[in-house]
């Protein structure tokens, strides 16, 4: 495991909801969730990095209004066309 030191303004630190001693965990959580939201990592990888099973991660992400199905209109149209061909 690598260790990274980050300097943060006190104002930013005060905005983060955290219990004493758990700031690093909260920052890791934010980083993983943002990587997932930006499609940089998969749902499975995000769950793994946060030490959760997939179902727990889905529930967690849902509570934060992070969609687990996130497609463009074009991607959705392709999926619908593919599903219709299967019928």
What confidence tens digit (pLDDT) does each residue in 46-56 have? 999 999 999 99
Euclidean distance between CA atoms 53 and 2, whole angstroms: 23
DSSP 62-73: HHTT--S----H
Domain that holds residue 57: 10-86
Per the domain annotation, does 2 fall within a domain? Answer: no
Per the domain annotation, does 3 fall within a domain? Answer: no
Euclidean distance between CA atoms 19 and 57, whole angstroms: 21
Domain count, the chain: 1
Task: Quick: pLDDT tens for 5-22.
Answer: 888 898 988 887 766 668
Per the domain annotation, does 72 fall within a domain? Answer: yes
Per the domain annotation, does 4 fall within a domain? Answer: no
């Amino acid at each position: 495991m690598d260790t990274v030191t980050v300097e943060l303004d006190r104002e930013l630190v005060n905005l983060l909801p955290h219990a004493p001693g758990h700031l690093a965990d909260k920052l890791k959580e934010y980083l993983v969730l943002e990587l997932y939201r930006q499609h940089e990592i998969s749902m499975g990888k995000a769950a793994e990095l946060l030490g959760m099973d997939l179902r727990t991660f889905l529930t967690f992400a849902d509570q934060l209004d992070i969609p687990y199905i996130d497609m463009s209109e074009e991607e959705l149209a392709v999926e619908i066309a593919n599903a219709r061909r299967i019928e």
